[in-house]
Amino acid sequence: MAASKKVRIYEKVAANHPKVMAAVETLGDAVRSSGPLDGKHAHLIQLAAAAAGQSEGSVHSHTRRAMEAGATRAEIEHTLMLLISVIGFPRVAAALSWAYDLLEKKK
């Protein structure tokens, strides 16, 4: 599914359930700010988890958020490549293709 469709479903859910989505976002912010990792590294870890879960929307979201937090293309690619021995190359290739949706736009 295209990135624009993923954004639309997020926006639709947020419009239909604003209190729930506000709580989800608040929880994410609280967890990221409660420990010693900076935002960039937190999003790279969340990117890896999204890739392991094969969640295209989450890979898009955390790729974008990692980039906004200062992650480079090389750091994002390395984060995903590190997963090859854990989740296998086909799943990493899928996650890379989703990350490239955003990385290629940045060029």
Report H helices in the chain. 3-16, 18-33, 39-52, 56-68, 73-81, 84-87, 89-106
Q: Which residues contact 50 (CB under 8 A, 6 or more apart)?
A: 58, 59, 61, 62, 95
What confidence tier does 9 reach under pLDDT thresholds 50, 70, 90? confident
Half-sphere exposure of 16 (CA within 13 A, CB side): 6
Q: Check pLDDT > 80 for residue 107.
A: no
Q: Give the pLDDT confidence score for residue 43 in this predicted structure.
A: 95
CATH topology of domain 3-106: AhpD-like (1.20.1290)
pTM summary value = 0.85
Q: Residue 103 in contact with residue 76, Cβ under 8 Å?
A: yes
Q: Over the stretch 74-95, which tens digit does the pLDDT of each residue have?
A: 999 999 999 999 999 999 999 9
Mean pLDDT of the chain: 91
- Looking up tokens 């736009």 gives 105
* Whole-number percent of the chain with pLDDT over 70: 93
